[in-house]
């Protein structure tokens, strides 16, 4: 039974906006309808409404794209959390010290959502992710650390339902093994994930506050250097401690 307090049309409009997930800059009406699971006629009316309100624009005969106006919502969220004033300077400072970009992320459904990322020139590892980018939940150190922070019943449900998105030969495909990694992260208060998302890359993550985590990635050598692991984790722990101390998280 549908909740009478829910505006279904508004929810459908949000589904249309969600169809623009960054995988393609321009979408046809057919693609929007398919991605939002809506009838094409309904999707068309909603798209035209969003065009009228300035959140979507026509791209000629090819389809539709988002406008910069959608960033107003993100700006309100990030401004409310003082990401630019409090979080960004801390990430930048510690990233410069460790020589690797540091990202802050939260859980968003089955995805890891990036909230902030340090600006570091000449980084060895650069994936091109920006604020609002999403990463796989089960195959990143950030995602596994976020799972480790959730109550056991919620973590179990996410572990069972989140898509397996490993992209390397080393990526774990057995959910039981991934659960073991999450359990270990919960016990240790940190997570290390080797070659799960990108070949030759090790990801590190630690919690910062009750909802967010921070992490960094490094190219791994021929072996697993324990000193490199300790240095990366120590850098993240110092960064997390400062973020908590300054009230940024």
Asked if 131 contacts 115 with a C-beta cutoff of 8 angstroms, the reply is yes
What pLDDT is stored for residue 128 in this prediction? Answer: 60
Strand partners, 65: 57
**Residues listed for the chain:** 249
Are residues 228 and 111 both part of a single domain? Answer: yes
**What's the CATH number where 40 sits?**
1.10.10.10
Residues of the chain with pLDDT under 70: 1-2, 120-129, 221-224
Are residues 34 and 152 both part of a single domain? Answer: no
Asked if 37 contacts 43 with a C-beta cutoff of 8 angstroms, the reply is no
What pLDDT is stored for residue 223 in this prediction? Answer: 56
According to DSSP, residue 166 is labeled -
Are residues 15 and 97 both part of a single domain? Answer: no
In a domain, 1, yes or no: no
In a domain, 3, yes or no: no
Are residues 170 and 236 both part of a single domain? Answer: yes
- Total number of domains constituting the chain: 2
What domain range is 29 assigned to? 8-66
What pLDDT is stored for residue 46 in this prediction? Answer: 96
Strand partners, 178: none
Question: What does 69-124 look like in DSSP terms, one character per residue?
Answer: GGHHHHHHHHHHTTIIIIIHHHHHHHHHHHTS--EEEEEETTEEEEEEE---TT-S
What pLDDT is stored for residue 71 in this prediction? Answer: 86
CB atoms within 10 A of CB 237: 17
In a domain, 203, yes or no: yes
Are residues 80 and 195 both part of a single domain? Answer: yes
Q: At how many degrees (to 10) do helices 141-149 and 175-188 cross?
A: 70
Strand partners, 104: 116, 214
What pLDDT is stored for residue 221 in this prediction? Answer: 65
Q: Among 66, 86, 110, where does a domain finish?
A: 66
């Amino acid at each position: 039974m549908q909740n009478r307090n829910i505006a279904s049309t508004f929810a459908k409009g949000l589904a249309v906006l969600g169809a623009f997930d960054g995988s393609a800059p321009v979408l046809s009406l057919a693609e929007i309808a398919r991605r939002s699971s809506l009838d094409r006629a309904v999707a068309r009316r909603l798209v035209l409404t969003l065009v009228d309100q300035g959140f979507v624009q026509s791209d000629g005969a090819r389809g539709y794209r988002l406008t910069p106006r959608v960033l107003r919502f993100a700006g309100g969220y990030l401004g409310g959390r003082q990401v630019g004033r409090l979080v960004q300077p801390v990430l930048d400072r510690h990233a410069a010290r460790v020589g690797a970009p540091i990202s802050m992320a939260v859980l968003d459904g089955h995805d890891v959502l990036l909230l902030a990322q340090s600006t570091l020139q000449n980084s060895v590892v650069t994936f091109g992710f920006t604020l609002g980018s999403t990463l796989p939940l089960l195959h990143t150190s950030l995602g596994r650390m976020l799972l480790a922070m959730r109550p056991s019943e919620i973590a179990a449900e996410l572990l069972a339902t989140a898509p397996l998105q490993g992209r390397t030969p080393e990526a774990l495909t057995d959910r039981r093994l991934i659960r073991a990694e999450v359990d270990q992260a919960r016990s240790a208060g940190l997570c290390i994930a080797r070659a799960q998302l990108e070949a030759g890359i090790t990801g590190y993550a630690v919690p910062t506050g009750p909802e967010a985590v921070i992490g960094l990635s490094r190219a791994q050598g021929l072996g697993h250097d324990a000193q490199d692991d300790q240095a990366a984790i120590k850098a993240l722990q110092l960064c997390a401690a400062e973020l908590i101390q300054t009230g940024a998280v």
